[in-house]
Structure 1
Amino acid sequence: MSLAAHRAQHVRLAVEGAVAAITLDRPERKNPLTFDSYAELATIFRMAARDEQVRAFTIAGSGGNFCSGGDVHEIIGPLLERDTRGLMQFTAMTGELVKAMRACPQPIIAAVDGVAAGAGAIIAMAADLRLGTPRARTAFLFNRVGLAGCDMGACAILPRIIGQGRASELLYLGRSMSAEEGLAWGFFNALHAPEALAAEAARLAQEIADGPAFAHAMTKRMLQMEWAMSVEQAIEAEAVAQALCMTTQDFRRAYDAFVAKRRPEFEGN
């Protein structure tokens, strides 16, 4: 099934052309996640690997906030009744969402307004690019509920974005990172006014979608893989990756457009 044909039940999913827009839509509670929305988000990103139409994602929250994390009443409360096996099933399921986001070939843009806390901060972190607003507040607040900061890949991914020391500060203190800090530290790629955020995220997603899809997927894959490689291994891996990209029709289209002195129109193959 294509993403355009998928009828999401626990989040909003809209596919327009080559861009899929996901909206967390429980604004009265600042868009918390439930067991069902966790699973559906992972399913959507896993489906994306087989979708030939969608070339980029945006993910946002409704009502002036991004996501307040796991729903206190629908997730946190029930977890207190689970045994170790049940808790492991839950943490494996939440981790599956981040794995699905990182494995899907399409770049993901998080549009963060207002609160992005707990799992909400993780979703923003797991995206490829992040746009924020001046009122964005991002908090990896796991220690404030008696848990470790090592949740859903935070100790592996967050230091790669903002550095070890800054990540340690946020994970040990559980404090909110302001939008200005997020921009200065490299968490946010840009800040926009709240009323302009959705349009800017859509514009950026469309710009990415207009590019060479196979090559973008390869870039995302290499960005993920090369953290575990030496520089020599990375150079070798990139040589193979780039040679594969040179077999695509988009590579030829770019050459033909250059010769004809026009802008290339990529088709993703």
Structure 2
Amino acid sequence: MSDVLLETSDQIATLTLNRPAKRNALTDEMVDEFLDALESVARSDARVVIVTGAGKGFCAGFDLSLAGVEAEGDETAFWMGRQEKFATLVTRLRAIPQPTVAAVNGAAAGAGLGLALACDTRIGCETAGFSSAFIRVGMSSCDIGVSYLLPRAIGTTRAFEMMLTGRMVDAAEAERIGLTLRSVASDALMPEAETLARAIAENGQMGTWMTKRGMWANLEAGSLQAAIELENRTQILMRSTGSLAERARARGFAKPD
């Protein structure tokens, strides 16, 4: 069976990391499968993507059993290529038109933390945990976007503490500090994620895409004025689709003709 499963139902795609015996630790082949699945989703009519893990873990990060495997050819070039490919998980999740929801069903450590942060929002179950674990094994916590995404999610003070200690943040703390939207019982995790996905999918596809793109773009905006300029142009673009009046009437915000 594939290490990455893709299922779509009612325009909601679910991507499941599927190495439960290894807490869904990532291999090179698994990253390739995940990227292929994202390409498939991006071209599909899916409106929202849920990312989760099989078994008791969301993603334990890079499979450390691969750390001692000798590379063919130049070792530094090999590891740089691997590092860049793993980081593509983050940029590709951000780039696809569909909003993404991480349903964190267990530990999200190292690259698993980066994967969860790359999703547009996160829901955790009671056994979820978050750790910037690489610093505990002689590496840097600055890995696959974590140093950019984590402080934007929870602020620099908490992000520095997490990244410098590598400690595990449990589900209750994650909800309190804004790392997750909310924490629910384990058996309620996927229903809760699906409910959120359906609420997103009810809105217009183009407007949802533009909201995702605009939000990410304005997280990098140099000023409020720059952010507003992008918003203004986006709204005029959306007005030109002709769906404003139609949707306003359909939802009871405007009188029928």
* Residue equivalent to 2:144: 152
CA distance in structure 2 between the partners assigned to 1:249 and 1:55 by the alignment: 20
Secondary structure of the residue that 2:219 maps to in structure 1? helix
CA distance in structure 1 between the partners assigned to 2:81 and 2:215 by the alignment: 29
Alignment of structure 1 residues 13-162 onto 2, 5 Å = 13-51=6-44, 53-73=45-65, 75-78=66-69, 83-162=75-154
Q: CA contact under 8 A between 1:48 and 1:105: conserved in structure 2?
A: no
Unaligned 5+ runs, structure 1: 1-7, 262-269
* Residue equivalent to 2:168: 176
Unaligned 5+ runs, structure 2: none
1:255 aligns with 2:244: no
- Once superposed, which parts of structure 1, at least 4 consecutive aligned residues long, lie more than 4 Å away? 79-82
Match of residue 214, structure 1, among 193, 206, 212: 206
Shift of 1:79: 6.3
Could you say what the CA RMSD is over the residues aligned between the two structures, in angstroms? 1.8
Match of residue 231, structure 1, among 218, 224, 230: 224
Shift of 1:28: 1.5
Report the AA paired with residue 60 of structure 2.
S
CA distance in structure 2 between the partners assigned to 1:160 and 1:25 by the alignment: 29
Shift of 1:255: 2.4
Match of residue 198, structure 1, among 190, 194, 208: 190
Identity of aligned residues (%): 35
CA distance in structure 1 between the partners assigned to 2:91 and 2:46 by the alignment: 19
CA distance in structure 1 between the partners assigned to 2:147 and 2:62 by the alignment: 19
Secondary structure of the residue that 2:68 maps to in structure 1? helix
| TM value normalised by structure 1 | 0.88
Q: 1:27 to 1:176 in 2, by over 3 A?
A: same
Q: CA contact under 8 A between 2:59 and 2:109: conserved in structure 1?
A: yes
Q: CA contact under 8 A between 1:79 and 1:87: conserved in structure 2?
A: no
